[in-house]
Structures are given as C-alpha cells and as structure tokens.
Amino acid sequence: MLKPQLHHSPASKSHFLLPKPFIHGNGGQNNIPILSMYSSLKTQRKIRAGCKHSAGNVKTLASISQDLQKSTKVKAKVTVTRTVGGFLSNIGINRGFDDIIDVLGKTLLLELVSAELDPNTGKEKATITAYAHKQDDEGSEIMYEADFEVDSSFGEVGAVFIENEHRREMFVKDIVLEGFITGSVTVSCDSWVHAKDTNHPKRLFFTTKSYLPSQTPEGLRRFREEELALLRGNGQGERKKGDRIYDYDVYDDLGDPDRNPNLKRPVLGGEQLPYPRRCRTGGARTITDPQSESRGLSVYVPRDEEFSEVKGLTFSAKTVYSVLHALIPSLESALVDPDLPFPYFTAIDSLFNEGIDLPPLKQQGWKDILPRIVKTIEDETREVLAFNTPETMERDRFFWFRDEEFGRQTLAGLNPLSLQLVKEWPLKSTLDPEIYGPPESAITTEMIEQQIKGFMTVEEAIKQKKLFMLDYHDLFLPFVSKVRQLENTTLYGSRTVLFLNPDCTLRTLAIELVCPPMDGKPQWKQAFTSSCDATGVWLWRLAKAHVLAHESGYHQLISHWLRTHACTEPYIIAAHRQLSVMHPIYRLLHPHFRYTMEINALAREALVNAGGIIESAFSPGKYCMEMSSVIYGKLWRFDQEALPQDLISRGMAVEDPSSPHGVKLTIEDYPYASDGLLLWDAIKSWVSEYVNHYYPEPSLILSDEELQEFWTEVRIVGHGDKKDEPWWPKLKTPEDLIEIITTMVWVTSGHHAAVNFGQYTYAGYFPNRPTVTRLKMPNEDPTDEDWKLFIEKPECILLLTFPSQIQATRVMAVLDVLSSHSPDEEYMGEYIEPGWVQDPVIKAAFEKFNGRLKELEGIIDGRNADPSLKNRNGAGIPPYELLKPFSEPGVTSKGVPYSISI
C-alpha cells in the first residue's frame, strides 16, 4: 500500500522490544532468562551488542548481562525506491547537491521515539538520532544505513521520525532495524518524505500495533494527537502539491466561467443543491463568478492519496490522461463535424475492424500506453484508432437488438441497481401537475394484460410480485425542458414495465415516454409496446433507445459516480482527520480508500466538469451534475447503501431470518444480488471478527472519542446536507459499528466493481447502451417531412437518434480505460495487510476471509455453468463475473479491488 505510517512488512512487530534487566518474577513481557538469551547469542557467531568470540576473550555471563543493561547497537537499513521523476533524476542541479549529501553520509536523519514516559520525570524520553548514509545504489532500490546505540532504559520503540536532507522528496519503502535481542524489525513506510527545506514537518511513522485512543502508550499520546492536527490543517490558504492536509469543501470547481460564460455551473453542496463534500483545495475565486473556484492545471489531493508511479506509468491511470489530452483532441480533428452521425450500422462495426485514421499525435510514446485501442500501420505513416470487440458483441453480434437481452441486463448487466418491484397500480407521478401535466401514466391495465396475454391480471401480477419497473419519470421530467434547449439532444421522463417469467427471465411489456408542457404545447406522453406491424416495431426500438440513454446517464451519474466515488470521499477525509493511523478502524478501512481521491480529482478535472466527457456525451448534458445533486437529495440514504437494505428498499428482496443471508430474493436468478450477497456475507463476517476483537464491550465504542468524532464528522460535515435525517445509524454498540463499516467496505469494493469493470463489455458497442439521444420520437408532433423520412428510412432515424461519431468514440475510448485493472491493483482479501499480521486473532480472521473469497470464485463459476440460470448462461450470453474477487490486469469484466481505484 502506498500510504504513510500504516503498512508494514508481515514480519514486523508492534513495538521494537529492547532488552531490559532480567528480574526474576517481575512478570514483564521482556522477561528473557539469561541462559536462554546467552544460548541464542552463541548461535549467531557475532554478538550484535558488540561482544566477540575468541579463544582468549570469552566474556562471562555476568558481563554480558551488564553490557545488555547498558546499551544495544542497532543498525537501521532504509530502503528507498528509485523513482522515475523523483529525487534520483539525473537532470537538474539538485542532483549534484544530493550526491554530495550522500557522500557526506547525511542523507536521512532518523529518530527513534520511545513508547514510554520517563518514570522519574513523567516526561517523554529524548529521541535517539542517527544519520543514514548510502550503502547500495544498484537496481530499483537504494539502501541507506544508520547506526544507533540504544540504552536499555529507552524501552520499547513506538515510532520513527525521518527527515530528508536531500533537495528532492524521496519515496521511503521501509526501515529494518537489526540488533535487538528479539530479532530484526521492519517498519513499512511506503510514503513520500519531503525535502527538509520545503517547510514540511518531519515525517512520523508509527509501528504496526493498533491502539484505541484510551490504550495509547503515554510516550506516544502527544505524537498521536499532533499528527492528526497536522492532517486536519487550519482550513486556510491554498493547498500546494505535496501537502498532506485533509479538509472539506463544496463542489464549486466544476465550471470554468472565466474561459467561457457557458461553462458556468452551480455550486453543488448546500440547501439548494445538496451534495457530498469533496477535498478542499483552497483555490482562488474566478473573476466572473465569485461563487466558483478557479481551475488550475491539476487538482490538489493530499500527497499520499496520489497514484503510485507504477499506476501512473502503466495503462490504468496514465491512459486516462492520454485519452483526454491526446486521443480525444485527435479524434475531434479526424471527425471534423461534431454532429455527424454514423451513416449505417456497418460504419459502427468498422470501428472494431478498420478503425479511424488519426492525424499525427503531439505526445510521443503515448501509443505504448494504449496498446488495446491504438494501432500503428506497418509503414508508420498512419496511426489508427481501432477498438477491441467487446465480449458481448463477440459472442452475439445482434445481442443489443433483442428484447430478452434488454430485460436480462437489468439483472446482470452494467446497472443492476435500478430495477424495482411495482407495488402500486395504476402508476402515477408525484410531481406538481400544474407544472408537469396530468400525473396518470399512459401505461394502462388493459395494455399490460394484453401483453401478458391472459396469463394473469395486473392485480394478480402485483400480488405475486411479477411486475417490475425502471422508473426515470419523476427524476428526469424536471430537466426535460432545459435539456431540449441544448443543441442536438433531447430528453423524456420514462417508465419501463417488465414481467417476470416462470424461468426468472424478464419480458419487457411497455415503455412510457413523457414530455411536460413546454413552448405553449400541452404534456405529451405515449406508451409503446412490442408490436407485430412494422411501424410499431420501429417505434418500439426507438423508445428502447431513449430508455437505454436514460439508463446510461443514471448508471454513470448515480449508480457509479455519486453512490461510490462522491459519497466515499467524505469517509476518506473524515478517517484521516479523526482516526489516528494507530487506530484499528483506520487500519481496517485504509485499504478501501486507496487512490479514490486521486481518481475523483481527475474526474472533476476532465470527466464530470463543465464541457467534460460526461456532459458532452451523456444525458442530460450540461445538467448532469445538477441532476445527480437532485437525486442525491431525494434518494440517497446511508442505511440503504448496504446491499441487503438496498434490495429490500427496491422490493427485490424481503427480510427472511430463515434464509442464508437474512433476506429472500424476489427474483432468484438475479446474478448481481445472488453473488453480491455471498460477498456481503464474507465482508461482514471479516469485519465482525475484527471489530469484536478490538471492542469486546459496548462501552469501548462509546468511550472511543476518535471513532465517535469520525462518525460525527461523516454525518455532520462530509454529508452535512443530510445531517438531520433520522435514518443515520447510531454508533453505540459493536453491532452498530459492524454495519457501518461493512456498508463502507461494500460500497468501495463490491458495489463499485459491479458498476465499473463491465463498462466496456456492455457499453463498448454503444447501440447496446447509447449515452444520449439526439432526436425526439418521430410521432411526437411530427412534420410531414419528418414522418415521411421515418416511414421510408426508419434505420436512418435510429442512427440519427444515437450519439454522433465523436460522442460515441470519445466515450468508447474512455470506457476502455475505466474498465481496466492496473498491474498494481490490490484485490480485496488477496494479501494480508502488515498491520493485521502481528495479531494472531486478526491474522486467523483474515485467512478465513481469504478462504471464503476463493470459495466464492468457485461458486460463481458453478453458477455460470448452470443452464437453469438463464440470466447468466445460454447461447451468446457472457458469464456474470463482475463480483468474482480476483483478476489479472486489463479489461477482464471481473475482479473486486479493495478500493475505488479507477
């Protein structure tokens, strides 16, 4: 883990045990019998305390004991990772200064901090200092060594300070201390250490033992509090690259009004437009809009939240920048007309076969970062963008055309979080009819019963839980009139009703599209059904295209961005501000926060910003983030982010204590839910054992001030626009904490994996999931000419309704990158954190967790091979593997990382 003060090698101890005088019967943990100690020393050939063996010079047992009481010689070996752009660069005058410092042997100043207070004065013991000098400069790592002489009265070492005398920051991997009677100890740092002259404080790294605040050793108490104060900052000034300060702010940096007045965007966060908080950067206000923060060349995140060099230089993170800053501008040059549609469907297919000729690219070497999609012709005179064929299309070229696939993907596709049970009939809007028109749905009882073909009545279908719905009516309708004022785009409010077949597949019965009163015209709404006549068939296909665009926008803005990326950032900020790195809950949560703030900053820079990829290619255009704010205010609840509660709230499950997961699914063959519940149970079991180990009594929860402040800050500040909601869980018992932490872990791991890593598989062939529709339905107030074109060339109308060439190819390129696992991906439960190794109870619990995840891999494989599970097995159907725990790098449509890392 590339984070400060937390991750240590599996061999590390919680504290460095220094030898103390043996007093018979004193009961201390350092009571090592002298004979045993002497025997151990003899086998080492060299006595690290400085004694030498020779025939004429063998010290007596008493003299050895006296030496041990005086001092111990300890050698510190510091491993520094050689960086590409860091302090080891051969370019620049600073390298020369740093070489001189290395020769003088004063590169790193190390200070050992005792965990104990002086028993005589009651004050902290003086630190023991030594300079580290370069010892080995070969390979990818550089070794430094320092020698300490540690007096026996110093006690246990609880932390190490590091001061970097170089002119550039360096990445310190670990420190190994050798010479203790109990053996060598490793402290993993995995963090950047600033140059001394940058006015940053010395870096402090604690040992791996976790302490509740009340259990903190007295010698470390002040350091614990001061380190938290440093991370909180004072809320003032502009954050600079390299800072390690965590604070909150509203989303006031999405627009760029100084560049273009049309790029002004409202502030998200507050009473009018509620939103989770993001990391504060403290940038200056824009000139034309004092409410907006100016946009710099990059967006600040705390130094230890930035991508590692491995991730930054391999195709996961680096390609995001390459796609946005090199490929997309080249596409825009190649496809001059931004509104140009695909002329025919074979032109869409050619994206995967022939590709698009690109003009010469300014950024050299970037093609190596995008090996999947950019190919160079052998004569090197042309560069071609050619997309890999998504697995869905590879298996069935016409998969996107089938109604059955439309229904299947609501359960096993990219957005399995929107389907809900129909509980009331007739369907009716809750919006103000004075503004939006009559609330009654155009989908009637007769229409549904005709589609069911006498199988049962609507009343019976609802009673038997057979009717389901995608409901984007009340959420989208308020934006329709605004979106329709934008060029080359349109929008409806929509409802889609589906029927559950006996084999657990879904049949799409009806689609309703609604336009509110606007431009002096009354409300327009119409319900469409699958039809036998040609006109009805094409209207049905066009209606599906509109619903799929709604699905794409909701998936990207709500199921993906809002519910995982945006809502998790406050948890990360609060954890760093209120939980010490020594806190066991910090150490439990920390792997689940890796890289999230950096990818969120990148999103604000070029994905969800004004004029960015999402606005330019997804419904509802420039109102995307505003709509996500409205939906956050209406729908988001922390307690319903837990998978079982989410399923219950949508009617997709009911509480059932007799069921294995405590819930019974309404649709048994629901791959996202059935696999997800197994993963949820494994997570909850692991979290339960962890929490119960550190909190055996409820009183420890209530008395843990760091934990209580963390949860308070999440609610009151991080999600402050919802601070008064009654549904926030209380934090009084270990059971409360288990549910809270399990929910956070699920959102950052399973939930995110399910909605992210299948993006290219399901949306890489964009007719399956068009991100925007550009034409209204041909039967909505048509002109004679429009209707004639539809009747004569309905395929042309569908192609004109789909995204333009530039919209589609931009999204496809980005989705390819966002669906990729980095080579340094860390999958949940694959490897144990060093801080968990040293406690045998936690180590055993993790090994059980790892075993359950491996078992889950086999269960998912078995389910995908079961022909009775029609939503994940059948001709042309890809297996559902999005919740398989482990994966290799690249676009694999499987693998559950710890964190929201892309």
| Active site residue ranges | 560, 565, 752, 756, 902
Question: Hey, what amino acid is at 741?
Answer: I
CB 179 within 8 A of CB 48: yes
Contacts of 479 (CB under 8 A, 6+ apart): 491, 620, 623, 626, 627
Question: Hey, what amino acid is at 29?
Answer: Q
Which class for 329: exposed (0-12), middle (13-18), buried (19 or more C-beta within 10 A)? middle
Helices (H), 819-866: 834-837, 840-864
CB 515 within 8 A of CB 490: no
Distance of alpha carbon 821 from alpha carbon 825, whole angstroms: 6
* DSSP state string for 42-55: HTTSS-TTS----T
| Residue 261 exposure: Cα atoms within 13 Å on the Cβ side | 1
CB 864 within 8 A of CB 858: no
CB 587 within 8 A of CB 735: no
Residues present in the chain in total: 902
Return the DSSP state at 778. Answer: T
Q: What are phi and psi of 175, to 5 degrees?
A: -130, 125
The residue assigned the tokens 């013991």 is 125
Distance of alpha carbon 558 from alpha carbon 554, whole angstroms: 5
Tell me how far CA of residue 769 lies from CA of 415, 556, 803, in angstroms: 11, 11, 10
Instruction: Please tell me whether the peptide bond between 620 and the residue prior to it is cis, using omega within 30 degrees of 0.
Output: yes
Angle at 76 between CA 70 and CA 78, to 5 degrees: 170
Laid out side by side, the sheet with 467-472 consists of 420-421, 467-472, 493-500, 506-515, 524-529
Q: Given CA atoms 888, 889, 891, 895 in this order, what sign does their dihedral have?
A: positive
Which tokens go with 15?
């504290």
CA 819 to chain centre: 12
Distance of alpha carbon 165 from alpha carbon 203, whole angstroms: 12
Beta bridge partners of 515: 524
Q: Which helix (H) or strand (E) holds 132?
A: strand 128-136
Ramachandran region, residue 134 (left: φ > 0; alpha: ψ -120 to 50; beta: rest): beta
Which tokens go with 313?
């230089």
Q: Please choose, from the candidates 249, 332, 297, 253, the residue with its C-alpha nearest in 3D space to the C-alpha of residue 609.
A: 253
Question: Hey, what amino acid is at 822?
Answer: S
Which tokens go with 385?
């963008």
Contacts of 630 (CB under 8 A, 6+ apart): 273, 475, 478
Distance of alpha carbon 554 from alpha carbon 562, whole angstroms: 10
Which class for 444: exposed (0-12), middle (13-18), buried (19 or more C-beta within 10 A)? middle
Which class for 840: exposed (0-12), middle (13-18), buried (19 or more C-beta within 10 A)? exposed
| Beta-carbon count within 10 A of 421 CB | 18
Tell me how far CA of residue 325 lies from CA of 314, 605, 649, 817, in angstroms: 16, 11, 41, 14
CB 574 within 8 A of CB 792: no
